[in-house]
Amino acid sequence: MFGRFKRRIKFKQRRDIEPHEIILDKLAREKEEEWGVSIKRVNVPLLEKTLTGFLVVLFLIMLVLFFKTFQLQVLEGESYLAQAVENKFIIQSIEAERGVIYDKNLKQLVFNIPQFDLIYDKESLEQSKEEEDKVLKEVARILEKDYEGLRNEIASSTDSLVYVSVNLEREKLIILQTKINELTGFEIRKTSTRDYEDGEVFAHLMGYMGKIKRKELEGSPEFYSILDYVGRDGLENYYEDILRKSPGKVKIERDALGNILSQETEALPESGKSLVLWLDSDLQKKVKEVLENKLYEVGSKKGVVIALDPKTGGILSLVSLPSFDNNVFSKGESSSIEKILNDENKPLFNRVISGRYVTGSTIKPLIALAGLEEKIISPGKYINCHGSIIVEDLWTPEVVWEYKDLRAHGYTDMRKALAESCNVYFYRLGGGYKEQDGLGPTRIKKYLQMFGWQDKTGIDIPGEVNGFIPDKEWKKRVLGQGWWDGDTYHLSIGQGYLQITPIEVVTSFLPIANNGKMFKPQVVKKIINSETAELIEEIEPEIIKEDFIDIENIQVVREGMRQAVTGYNSPHASAMFLSSLPVSAAVKTGTAETPREDLYHNWATVFAPYDDPEILITIMIEDVEGVRAATLPVAYEVLNWYFSR
């Protein structure tokens, strides 16, 4: 019925909206109400302000996007590119071997033992906390470590690379190797550790290794990584620049998941150079054995032996007791290290080069030479020793001071005075008495310094200290006291405030043993290529001074020291105990008082054979109870073995 009223209305079809067809809803509703229509056909023009605001906002958004794009692509493009490359490429070091150490006969004393360490890289590819916890728990399980402890250990480290486990046990290593690709951030690295032949025998010479410090790493980044160990004492420290390796470098390309795409070697590894010493390792072992036995016998715990080649100054043996096993530092045995550090007898302390002691009568050959050089006494002049000298007090004549000897030696010339170690003779020579002029403290100090006392010898191991010779100025400045005749008498026989190192003592006897040459004591003889054993550098003996003492005066002192052994014209010769050695020897003994009652430092310096010395030895044992020759039996046993083997 309504069909005839139907009309087909045909609208113009188009897909685009013209600008004049845009209608703002609010304005449209207002016009509908005004005109009474509701078919929403009214076209309302857009306000100019609205359009302008819209375009401004749009422009600002586009401007911000443009500048951000410019910043990322132009201003910071190189930085982001570098980071991308850095994440894609990493540089890993290729391990090289540290140089080793041999004795004079090319017997190897230090070895490199391969080991595998587990390392965590804190700058490795990022992973979620859940993934990281999962990996850490698995590693803790394999290593049988506490999970929280492992997490704290890694978190507390200030280094990007963290040692998680050193020297992995074989079973744990195998398990880790099979799972390492699943343990993000962890890496098994093959390194080597030091193994020292008879650690306690050679410890003070070889030294030990310790983890590198950040300051050391910053000084030589081309040679070390934060994971490296460096020499901490002994030859390991002194010759660090020679022994150290030069690692190689390999450039590794990775994808976003950390998978290795390619590897390229940028630098080949280079092993460190090796050292050949003057040291006789068999002699070293014998010296330690004999000295240990003697210390036990006399109830002492501390002593030293230092043996030189008189013709070169080369160190044939250097023993300081108590000693320590330097292998515990390589193995990282914390309990053993702590025990060494807390030992009241200080086993790390090298008494040969760092200990300072009163020398006792060991000083007398040098005082004799000073007197001869100053021409205040002739070697044939006799001084009658009654067992002491009596000195009146300058201010109160009724007070007298007595300076004693062990016995009355009777008429004594210089050779007998040295052989029997006559104190009265050297009181008179050093301090003057009655008709005998004395050297006085100034000249005594001058000659002691001429023989190297109070100066470091320059031995090639770290830790050497210089000795101390007292004088008037020192006593006034430090103690606030004047210098008395008694101070000179005490200095003349090696007592009082004098403090000298064993290395200074033995070095000062070199010109006596070899007729005039003082050498710098030297441990290392030559440097060789670690792989081919080819000579790189021969370290020539270094003469500190020579011909500074008249050879005839040296000969007098040598004869006095020889007389101590033969007993010729010296019924109380101090070292006739050595007369049965297979070679002729010359010796000067010494007994030095200590602040501890009835305890003495016992000395002996010996060279042999007398006519053409091959070895010069100084022995010192601390805190020997009573006056006795504790060092002479050590000298006898060592020299008897040395010349009979």
**Each residue of 528-585: pLDDT tens digit?**
999 999 999 999 999 999 999 999 999 999 999 999 999 999 999 999 999 999 999 9
How confident is the model at residue 145, as a pLDDT? 86
Contact (CB, 8 A) for 392 and 399: yes
DSSP 8-state assignment for residue 135: H
Mean pLDDT of 177-183: 85
Q: Tell me, what CATH number does 357's domain have? A: 3.40.710.10
Give the domain-ending residue among 60, 83, 104: 60
pLDDT category at 181 given cuts 50, 70, 90 is confident
Give the domain-ending residue among 40, 60, 80: 60
pLDDT category at 600 given cuts 50, 70, 90 is very high
**Does the residue 178 lie in any domain?**
no
Q: How many CA atoms lie within 13 A of 136 on its CB side?
A: 20
Mean pLDDT of 505-534: 97
Range from 11-25, 149-163, 325-339, 603-617 that averages highest in pLDDT: 603-617
How confident is the model at residue 11, as a pLDDT? 42
Query: Is residue 634 predicted with pLDDT exceeding 60?
Result: yes
389-398, 503-512, 608-617: least confident range: 389-398
Question: Which residues are CB-neighbours of 280 under 8 A, at least 6 positions away?
Answer: 103, 104, 105, 316, 317
Identify which has the larger pLDDT, 51 or 398: 398
How confident is the model at residue 48, as a pLDDT? 67
Range from 24-28, 472-476, 625-629 that averages highest in pLDDT: 472-476
User: pLDDT per residue over 116-131, tens digit each?
Assistant: 888 888 777 667 778 8
pLDDT category at 146 given cuts 50, 70, 90 is confident
Number of domains in the chain: 2
**Does the residue 257 lie in any domain?**
no
Q: What is the rounded average pLDDT for all residues in the chain?
A: 87
**Does the residue 597 lie in any domain?**
yes
pLDDT category at 5 given cuts 50, 70, 90 is very low
Distance CA 108, CA 555 (A): 40
How confident is the model at residue 44, as a pLDDT? 52
Helix (H) or strand (E) holding 176: helix 170-179
Closest CA to 120 of 143, 96, 97: 143
Give the domain-ending residue among 20, 35, 60: 60
**Does the residue 37 lie in any domain?**
yes
pLDDT category at 38 given cuts 50, 70, 90 is low
User: pLDDT per residue over 451-502, tens digit each?
Assistant: 999 999 999 999 999 999 999 999 999 999 999 999 999 999 999 999 999 9
Distance CA 457, CA 467 (A): 10
How confident is the model at residue 148, as a pLDDT? 84
| Alpha helices (H) along 231-315 | 234-238, 240-243, 281-298
**Does the residue 121 lie in any domain?**
no
pLDDT category at 1 given cuts 50, 70, 90 is very low
Question: Which residues are CB-neighbours of 160 under 8 A, at least 6 positions away?
Answer: 121, 122, 123, 226
**Does the residue 289 lie in any domain?**
yes
Closest CA to 315 of 346, 287, 347: 287
Closest CA to 433 of 405, 468, 464: 405
Mean pLDDT of 64-82: 62
Mean pLDDT of 144-168: 82
Mean pLDDT of 307-334: 94
Is the peptide bond between 521 and the residue preceding it cis, with omega within 30 degrees of 0? no
Structural domain range at position 534: 281-642
**Does the residue 214 lie in any domain?**
no
Mean pLDDT of 388-414: 90
pLDDT category at 47 given cuts 50, 70, 90 is low
3-class secondary-structure state, position 363: helix
Query: What's the token pair of residue 129?
Result: 């906390």
